[in-house]
Amino acid sequence: NRILVLNGPNLNLLGTRQPEVYGRTTLQDVETACTSHGERLGFAVECMQSNHEGTLIDAIHAAKGVQDGLVLNAGAYTHTSIALMDAIASVELPLIEVHLSNIHAREPFRHRSYIAPVAVGQICGFGAHGYILALDALVEHLGKKRS
Protein backbone atom coordinates (compact mmCIF):
# COMPACT_ATOMS: atom_id res chain seq x y z
CA ASN A 1 0.00 0.00 0.00
CA ARG A 2 1.91 2.99 -1.29
CA ILE A 3 1.06 6.54 -2.29
CA LEU A 4 3.27 9.19 -3.89
CA VAL A 5 2.61 12.84 -3.02
CA LEU A 6 4.12 14.95 -5.77
CA ASN A 7 4.55 18.74 -5.64
CA GLY A 8 5.54 20.87 -8.59
CA PRO A 9 7.19 24.23 -9.22
CA ASN A 10 7.55 26.88 -6.50
CA LEU A 11 5.91 24.70 -3.86
CA ASN A 12 9.32 24.33 -2.20
CA LEU A 13 8.73 27.96 -1.15
CA LEU A 14 5.50 27.14 0.67
CA GLY A 15 5.18 29.05 3.94
CA THR A 16 6.98 32.16 2.70
CA ARG A 17 5.56 32.40 -0.85
CA GLN A 18 2.52 34.73 -1.00
CA PRO A 19 1.29 33.49 2.40
CA GLU A 20 -1.97 35.45 1.93
CA VAL A 21 -2.72 33.08 -0.97
CA TYR A 22 -0.99 29.84 0.03
CA GLY A 23 -0.82 30.02 3.82
CA ARG A 24 2.09 29.75 6.24
CA THR A 25 2.42 25.99 6.29
CA THR A 26 5.77 24.89 4.86
CA LEU A 27 6.27 22.06 2.38
CA GLN A 28 8.07 20.16 5.15
CA ASP A 29 4.94 20.53 7.33
CA VAL A 30 2.73 19.31 4.48
CA GLU A 31 4.95 16.30 3.81
CA THR A 32 5.15 15.36 7.50
CA ALA A 33 1.35 15.62 7.80
CA CYS A 34 0.90 13.44 4.68
CA THR A 35 3.27 10.77 5.98
CA SER A 36 1.52 10.66 9.38
CA HIS A 37 -1.93 10.60 7.83
CA GLY A 38 -0.82 7.85 5.46
CA GLU A 39 0.28 5.75 8.44
CA ARG A 40 -3.16 6.17 9.98
CA LEU A 41 -4.72 4.98 6.73
CA GLY A 42 -2.30 2.05 6.43
CA PHE A 43 -0.35 3.52 3.50
CA ALA A 44 3.33 4.30 3.12
CA VAL A 45 3.41 7.85 1.76
CA GLU A 46 6.43 9.00 -0.19
CA CYS A 47 6.83 12.72 -0.92
CA MET A 48 8.76 14.51 -3.60
CA GLN A 49 8.96 18.03 -5.01
CA SER A 50 10.54 19.36 -8.18
CA ASN A 51 10.57 22.63 -10.06
CA HIS A 52 11.26 20.75 -13.31
CA GLU A 53 8.58 19.45 -15.60
CA GLY A 54 10.71 16.54 -16.88
CA THR A 55 11.62 15.43 -13.36
CA LEU A 56 7.91 15.35 -12.44
CA ILE A 57 7.22 13.30 -15.57
CA ASP A 58 10.05 10.88 -14.70
CA ALA A 59 8.60 10.50 -11.18
CA ILE A 60 5.16 9.70 -12.59
CA HIS A 61 6.67 7.08 -14.92
CA ALA A 62 8.66 5.56 -12.05
CA ALA A 63 5.50 5.29 -9.94
CA LYS A 64 3.99 2.72 -12.29
CA GLY A 65 3.99 -0.70 -10.66
CA VAL A 66 5.47 0.77 -7.47
CA GLN A 67 2.78 3.10 -6.11
CA ASP A 68 -0.96 2.43 -5.80
CA GLY A 69 -1.88 6.03 -6.53
CA LEU A 70 -0.73 9.63 -6.63
CA VAL A 71 -1.59 12.99 -5.13
CA LEU A 72 -0.36 15.83 -7.33
CA ASN A 73 -0.13 19.57 -6.95
CA ALA A 74 1.44 20.48 -10.28
CA GLY A 75 1.59 24.21 -9.47
CA ALA A 76 1.54 26.36 -12.60
CA TYR A 77 2.23 23.31 -14.82
CA THR A 78 -1.41 22.47 -14.08
CA HIS A 79 -2.40 25.17 -16.53
CA THR A 80 0.21 24.51 -19.21
CA SER A 81 1.48 20.94 -19.30
CA ILE A 82 0.05 18.58 -21.88
CA ALA A 83 3.18 16.50 -21.21
CA LEU A 84 2.19 15.96 -17.55
CA MET A 85 -1.35 15.10 -18.61
CA ASP A 86 0.00 12.52 -21.07
CA ALA A 87 2.33 11.05 -18.44
CA ILE A 88 -0.56 10.57 -16.00
CA ALA A 89 -2.73 8.99 -18.70
CA SER A 90 0.15 6.66 -19.62
CA VAL A 91 0.74 5.11 -16.19
CA GLU A 92 -2.95 4.39 -15.46
CA LEU A 93 -2.60 5.11 -11.74
CA PRO A 94 -5.40 6.88 -9.88
CA LEU A 95 -4.44 10.48 -9.17
CA ILE A 96 -6.04 13.16 -7.05
CA GLU A 97 -5.32 16.75 -8.10
CA VAL A 98 -4.72 19.23 -5.27
CA HIS A 99 -4.39 23.01 -5.08
CA LEU A 100 -4.04 25.02 -1.92
CA SER A 101 -5.92 27.96 -3.39
CA ASN A 102 -9.31 27.89 -5.11
CA ILE A 103 -8.02 28.12 -8.67
CA HIS A 104 -11.55 28.74 -9.97
CA ALA A 105 -11.86 31.93 -7.93
CA ARG A 106 -8.59 33.36 -9.28
CA GLU A 107 -7.32 34.64 -12.64
CA PRO A 108 -9.00 33.05 -15.70
CA PHE A 109 -5.72 31.40 -16.78
CA ARG A 110 -5.83 29.30 -13.57
CA HIS A 111 -9.33 27.97 -14.28
CA ARG A 112 -8.08 25.54 -16.89
CA SER A 113 -6.43 22.37 -15.65
CA TYR A 114 -4.71 19.88 -17.94
CA ILE A 115 -4.56 17.53 -14.95
CA ALA A 116 -8.30 17.43 -14.23
CA PRO A 117 -9.29 15.26 -17.25
CA VAL A 118 -6.89 12.51 -16.16
CA ALA A 119 -7.53 12.81 -12.40
CA VAL A 120 -10.07 10.95 -10.30
CA GLY A 121 -11.02 14.35 -8.93
CA GLN A 122 -9.80 17.77 -7.89
CA ILE A 123 -9.54 19.31 -4.42
CA CYS A 124 -8.84 23.04 -4.20
CA GLY A 125 -9.36 25.95 -1.87
CA PHE A 126 -8.76 24.20 1.45
CA GLY A 127 -5.11 25.16 1.92
CA ALA A 128 -2.71 22.53 3.25
CA HIS A 129 -5.64 20.46 4.55
CA GLY A 130 -6.40 19.69 0.89
CA TYR A 131 -3.56 17.14 0.89
CA ILE A 132 -5.20 15.25 3.77
CA LEU A 133 -8.56 15.36 1.98
CA ALA A 134 -6.81 14.07 -1.15
CA LEU A 135 -5.25 11.13 0.71
CA ASP A 136 -8.66 10.23 2.18
CA ALA A 137 -10.25 10.47 -1.27
CA LEU A 138 -7.53 8.36 -2.89
CA VAL A 139 -7.68 5.63 -0.24
CA GLU A 140 -11.48 5.57 -0.52
CA HIS A 141 -11.17 5.30 -4.31
CA LEU A 142 -8.59 2.49 -4.04
CA GLY A 143 -10.88 0.64 -1.62
CA LYS A 144 -13.74 0.85 -4.04
CA LYS A 145 -11.58 -0.38 -6.89
CA ARG A 146 -10.33 -3.37 -4.89
CA SER A 147 -13.73 -4.52 -3.62
Catalytic status, residue 99: yes
The crossing angle, in degrees rounded to 10, of helices 82-91 and 53-63 is 10
- Catalytic residue, candidates 22, 77, 114, 131: 22
- Catalytic residue, candidates 37, 99, 114, 131: 99
Burial of 77 (0-12, 13-18, 19+ CB in 10 A): buried
Rg (CA), the chain: 14
Q: Which of 46/97 has CB closer to ligand DQA? A: 97
51 a known binding residue? no
Residue 97: which of 137, 68, 63, 56 has the closest Cα?
137
129 lies in the binding site for ligand DQA (CB under 6 A): no
73 lies in the binding site for ligand DQA (CB under 6 A): yes
With CB under 6 A as the contact rule, which of the stretches 33-41, 46-54, 75-83, 136-144 interacts with ligand DQA? 75-83
110 a known binding residue? yes
Q: Which of 92/107 has CB closer to ligand DQA? A: 107
Give me the residues paired with residue 48 across strands.
6
Phi first, then psi, for residue 136 (nearest 5°) are: -60, -45
Residue numbers at the binding site for ligand DQA (CB under 6 A) = 10, 73, 75-76, 78, 99-101, 103, 110
Q: Annotated catalytic sites, by residue?
A: 22, 99
